[in-house]
């Protein structure tokens, strides 16, 4: 069974019923009620900055937030890397025209940024 995040977000009851039917389990209204309420999820303190939305009610505006948060060049890079997967999953492909050298430069930037961030975290924890 394939479930798109956006479909679950915009039609939670319908999609959840389909999931439960697929699993051959009964659907309960309490499943949907918790979908709209603040949850009491326990998160490790280190995860709070990254997963803080897990404690909040579902916000449909977050479904396409990446379009506002990612720069044009990062969106082009994402489509360049995962475009075939997006296409297979039925997502529209953006029309991003960007030269190869700029896309490759973004790849290097993200590689260096992630490596530096990882090393800083390890250093702060005393593992380097």
* Whole-number pLDDT of residue 113: 79
Q: Which residues contact 27 (CB under 8 A, 6 or more apart)?
A: 16, 17, 20, 21
Residues 3 and 49 in one domain: yes
Same domain membership, residue 111 and residue 93: yes
Q: For the residues 39-47, what does the mean pLDDT come to?
A: 67
Q: Which domain range does residue 12 map to?
A: 1-65
Whether the full predicted model's pTM is greater than 0.95, yes or no, is: no
Instruction: Looking at the structure, tell me whether residues 74 and 101 fall in a common domain.
Output: yes
Dig out the tokens for 27 from the structure.
């659907």
Domain's final residue, options 45, 65, 85:
65
Q: What is the mean pLDDT of the chain?
A: 79
**How many domains, the chain?**
2
Query: Are 60 and 1 members of one domain?
Result: yes
CA pair distance 81, 73, nearest whole angstrom: 12
């Amino acid at each position: 069974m394939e479930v798109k995040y956006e479909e679950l977000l915009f039609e939670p009851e319908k999609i959840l019923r389909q999931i439960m039917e697929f699993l051959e389990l009964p659907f309960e209204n309490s499943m949907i009620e918790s979908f709209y309420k603040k949850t009491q999820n326990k998160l490790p303190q280190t995860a709070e900055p990254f997963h803080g939305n897990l404690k909040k009610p579902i916000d449909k505006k977050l479904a396409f937030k990446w379009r506002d948060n990612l720069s044009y060049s990062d969106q082009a890079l994402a489509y360049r890397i995962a475009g075939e997967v997006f296409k297979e999953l039925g997502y529209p492909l953006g029309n991003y025209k960007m030269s190869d050298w700029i896309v490759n430069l973004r790849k290097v930037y993200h590689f260096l940024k992630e490596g530096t961030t990882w090393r800083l975290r390890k250093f702060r924890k005393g593992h380097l």
